[in-house]
Structure 1
Amino acid sequence: MSSFRLMRQSLLSVIVMITLSACGFQLRDNYQLPATLQQMQLQSVSSLQLEASLRQRLLTAGIQLSDQAAADVAQLRVLSDQLERRTLSLFESGQVAEYELLYRVNYQVIRNGELIIEDTIEVARDYQDDPNFALAKTREREMLVAEMRDDAARRLVRQMISEFADD
């Protein structure tokens, strides 16, 4: 009887694991933090929304944020962040029907006065516009840009931790 129970539990565990992997479930922001990234200073963020998102992502990753520069503390410098909008398609009337939004963040990581990482994160999204619903579409675009900033911050932190883990 106990072998039947053990087999049933094993089968149930396998089914749960297959179901979770099939649906795309994955733990996010659960990093093995390298010792060199235990503490960091965040500098030169031109966007307050990006700064808030980066602070949240760094703290979630277990990185302590320092206000003062020190030789052994890595510095994350956000050099620029920009949002571009490109036309993808037009209505028959000539009005824009669809845009591509491209959000780009240029950053550096400096440790002990040495440039460790210099890279760019790009996040792209398509956005359909409808001039008949201008107010709703403006709000939708604002939400999309906020999501893009958060995604860029998540990618930046993930990329930075991965780069330091290779050392």
Structure 2
Amino acid sequence: MTTVNQITQSVSPSTRHYWLVRWFCVFVLLGLISSCGFTLRGQQLPNSALSHLHVEQPARYSALHNTVEQYFTKQGIQPNIDGTITHTISIKPESIERRLLSVFSTGQVAEYELIYAVNYVLHFADMDPQNYTFTLIREYQDDPRQVLAKTRELNLVLNELRQEAAATIYQRLPAHLAQLQGR
């Protein structure tokens, strides 16, 4: 019994030091993560922000605008009908670029990189409008032996990118709102 007590007493200060260092590292890590703007995906917008949110239609037709409106409706944000709009999201026209990644030995393009850039403006209540931009990148293979299906495949990839862009905008709204209210 005395041997166990001696071992416990000799290990105890270093164990305390170990736990102290461990908790310190955890708090430093949490501070670093929160300072870079990290937010959990499940974080929801406050109901006060949701009740008066309007997705503004750009001057010309935008497939991204329609996708964002549909995504927001699925998430429970209904279009504002009563006329009291205090928060707006204006979706700017998306831009799509293709960058060459590889070619076949014959010189025909084998693979592209689709670069899908999204710009939108948030205007919350009495605050100045803020512009936000993000980019989504996808690889796209261009097989010359299957030309007929490539247009359909490209349209499917673009629709997936629009869905991902709508989800990204929705997921970033709580962080944007917190950032604007913190100013």
| Normalised TM-score (structure 2) | 0.66
Q: Provide closer, same or farther for how the CA distance between residues 106 and 94 of structure 1 changes in structure 2, counting only shifts above 3 A.
A: same
- Partners of 1:55 and 1:105 in 2: CA distance: 15
Tell me the equivalent position of 1:160: 173
| Aligned residue among 112, 122, 128 for 1:99 | 112
Which structure shows the bigger proportion of residues in strand conformation?
A: 1
| C-alpha contact (below 8 Å) 2:98/2:114 kept by paired residues | yes
1:57 matched to 2:71? The reply is yes
Identity of matched residues, %: 33
| C-alpha contact (below 8 Å) 2:45/2:173 kept by paired residues | no
Displacement after TM superposition at 1:153 (Å): 0.8
- Partners of 1:159 and 1:63 in 2: CA distance: 15
- Partners of 1:103 and 1:162 in 2: CA distance: 22
Tell me the equivalent position of 1:33: 45
| C-alpha contact (below 8 Å) 1:41/1:68 kept by paired residues | no
Q: Provide closer, same or farther for how the CA distance between residues 47 and 160 of structure 1 changes in structure 2, counting only shifts above 3 A.
A: farther
Displacement after TM superposition at 1:113 (Å): 4.7
1:110 matched to 2:129? The reply is no
Is there any run of 5+ residues in structure 2 with no aligned partner, and where? 1-40
- Partners of 1:78 and 1:94 in 2: CA distance: 38
| C-alpha contact (below 8 Å) 2:123/2:129 kept by paired residues | yes
| Aligned residue among 152, 157, 172 for 1:139 | 152
Displacement after TM superposition at 1:120 (Å): 0.8
Which structure shows the bigger proportion of residues in helix conformation?
A: 2
Write the letter of the residue equivalent to 1:86. Answer: R
Which aligned pairs between 1:37-48 and structure 2 lie closer than 5 A?
Answer: 37-45=50-58, 46-48=60-62
- Partners of 1:67 and 1:76 in 2: CA distance: 16
- Partners of 1:51 and 1:123 in 2: CA distance: 16
Displacement after TM superposition at 1:157 (Å): 1.1
Q: 4+ runs of 1 displaced by more than 4 Å?
A: 67-70
- Partners of 1:153 and 1:74 in 2: CA distance: 17
Q: Provide closer, same or farther for how the CA distance between residues 164 and 149 of structure 1 changes in structure 2, counting only shifts above 3 A.
A: same
Length, aligned pairs only: 138
Larger Rg: 2
Helix, strand or coil for the counterpart of 1:75? Answer: strand
